[in-house]
Amino acid sequence: MSVGSSRHGSPTVNFDSDGVLGYLQFCNLPDLSACQNEIADRSSTLRSFPWPLILVATFLLPGCRPNNSATNPDSDKLADALSSEGAAGVNASLVPTYPTFSPTIDGEFDDWEEVGSATQDGYGDGSETFDIDVVKAQVIGQQLFIYFDNQHIVNLQNGEEGEPTLKLNFDLAGSRRLTIDFRARSATLSSASDETRTVPWNELRFSSLPTYASNRFEMSLDLSAFGLSAGDSIVTNFASSDSLEQSLLLKIDDRAAKPAAIPMPGAPEGSGRIASINTLHSGLSQPERAGSFRAMISKTQPDVICFNEEWELDDFQRGAKEILGDSYVLHWQNGCAIATKSELKPLDFDLQRGAAALVVLDELPVVIVSVHFKCCGFAGSEQDLARIAEAQQVVANLRRLRRGEFGSEAAAAGVVILGDFNLVGSRQPLDIIESAGQRAYTLRSLIDRSTATWRGLAETESFWPGRLDYATFDPVRLEAVGGFTLSSSEASDLFPESGISPVASDHAMLVLDISPPRTFPKTH
């Protein structure tokens, strides 16, 4: 047994017995000394358990810092659970962990560092596509959070024909099994009577990131639609390409995982607000949806609005005039558009799927590039190569910009690039943009802090929610000072009086606040 410290200062205990790693984290005790005494008192009891091939990670209780209270009844419950005869007979590799907060599904993984390894499967026993090593899990209420890493960089949701799939099974109360088949992009619920039904992603509230090819993934799903109760166990394992030697045992509790919504912030003083929205097949000119876009623009109050999927110039001009009025200056090119009340100068960027303009925001010149890269495919596919070529086009035009081909004011301006990058293949298109001095800015939902920007509207949609839309800025000439994403579904909930349709678009609006870079006093 070894005693260390977690990032919160709480001691962690690692047991390595018979090749099995147990990860325990004791929290909510009066101080570190009390935690260490607790560990010492329990270590002999823990060692006495018959643990061959059993991995236990148990009760990371809410509040991972000392709570300065004299007693902790939850710690007593933990002791009772660990010292009971029943605990020794658990035939699975995880007793549930209780985090201090919900992991945020954003594809960035930092918050998973708070969580000890649930199990480590080791590389070399899977397929050439999926070969899992570390798996982590959290349960809050009926919401499950799963993390795993993979030996290979792959797209979870798509790949070459003939590549094997990866499945994730959840055995539920009532002899039911929920199966997520990642490459088939399906979720099914089967029962002991062999009845099977497809479960829509929105019923599961399922989301997984990143959407581009990676060797690490995180996901969340909500089981509240399946009639489970606090205390019910869920046995979880992978299947098909790889599986764990011991299943994970998760347990439903009675807490609420959904955080409170953050009030929508206004643009900070001295900043300019730039928004981007994919209107889903020329939505500005669709009467049943145009009013929703008008309301979302009214609520977010952007200085500049970029549009994607406005395929026809005439339809765009008619729809934009209807929802924005006559005071906006419009620039449209190849299905992308830019609208603002400020001074706007179109720039003749050679873009296959994009539009560019110089906009002056309260004396701050900014080159805004609205892009909509090619959809679909997977890493290395024809569609992915098209996205890479489109990103290279953007960078080639930025070089022209800096050479002064579009005028001295544009050459000196900061650049913001935003829109639907469609990163469902490789990350290379974004890498190319960033290699030109741009920096991606993480925009999060006001509701759940997720970075997912797309969700299918149809019950039969095979793709689960993911992050397709990005915003980048030039950190030398500009500073990103805030922002968020807002889907029409979220806007409908946040502003019920506005009449916003929850299905106005399948993409969330991006909102980015920028300002001139801050200057710091010189030091002598």
DSSP, res 303: S
Tens of pLDDT, residue by residue over 191-201, are: 988 899 999 99
The two tokens of residue 231 are: 């205390």
Q: Does domain 272-515 have CATH number 3.60.10.10?
A: yes
DSSP, res 293: H
Tens of pLDDT, residue by residue over 398-440, are: 999 999 999 999 999 999 999 999 999 999 999 999 999 999 9
Distance from C-alpha of 174 to C-alpha of 192, rounded to nearest angstrom: 8
Tell me the pTM: 0.81
Q: How confident is the model at residue 103 (pLDDT cuts 50, 70, 90)?
A: confident
- Closest of 164, 187, 168, 152 to residue 241, by C-alpha: 164
Amino acid identity, position 197? R
Residue 40 has pLDDT above 60, yes or no: no
Task: Work out the average pLDDT over 180-187.
Answer: 98
Tens of pLDDT, residue by residue over 433-491, are: 999 999 999 999 999 999 999 999 999 999 999 999 999 999 999 999 999 999 999 99
Distance from C-alpha of 177 to C-alpha of 182, rounded to nearest angstrom: 16
Lowest pLDDT segment from 41-45, 60-64, 99-103: 60-64
Q: Identify the pLDDT of residue 258.
A: 67
User: 């799939």: which residue's tokens?
Assistant: 165
Q: Identify the pLDDT of residue 109.
A: 95
Mean pLDDT of the chain: 83
Distance from C-alpha of 385 to C-alpha of 379, rounded to nearest angstrom: 8
The torsion angle over the Cα atoms of residues 253, 12, 110 and 69, rounded to 10 degrees, is 60
- Closest of 237, 185, 186, 177 to residue 211, by C-alpha: 185
For every residue of 138-172, DSSP letters joined together read EEETTEEEEEEEEEEEE-SS--STT---EEEEEEE
User: 């962690």: which residue's tokens?
Assistant: 12
- Closest of 176, 210, 206 to residue 191, by C-alpha: 176
Helix (H) or strand (E) holding 266, with range, is: none
Q: How confident is the model at residue 77 (pLDDT cuts 50, 70, 90)?
A: very low
Task: Work out the average pLDDT over 67-85.
Answer: 33
Tens of pLDDT, residue by residue over 209-267, are: 999 999 999 999 999 999 999 999 999 999 999 999 999 999 999 887 667 788 999 99
Residue 31 has pLDDT above 60, yes or no: no
Tens of pLDDT, residue by residue over 369-385, are: 999 999 999 999 999 99
CB 168 within 8 A of CB 157: no
- Strand ranges across the sheet with 11-17: 2-5, 11-17, 20-25
Tens of pLDDT, residue by residue over 286-312, are: 999 999 999 999 999 999 999 999 999
Cis? peptide before 210, omega within 30° of 0: yes
Could you state, in order of their start, the residue ranges of all structural domains in the chain? Answer: 272-515
Q: Identify the pLDDT of residue 101.
A: 58
Distance from C-alpha of 221 to C-alpha of 106, rounded to nearest angstrom: 14
Distance from C-alpha of 113 to C-alpha of 522, rounded to nearest angstrom: 38
Q: Identify the pLDDT of residue 145.
A: 95
Distance from C-alpha of 247 to C-alpha of 117, rounded to nearest angstrom: 14
CB 383 within 8 A of CB 374: yes
b/e for 34-52, b at 16 or more Cβ within 10 A?
A: bbeebbeebeeebeebebe
The two tokens of residue 94 are: 């995880």
Q: Identify the pLDDT of residue 12.
A: 33
Residue 90 has pLDDT above 70, yes or no: no
CB 204 within 8 A of CB 187: yes
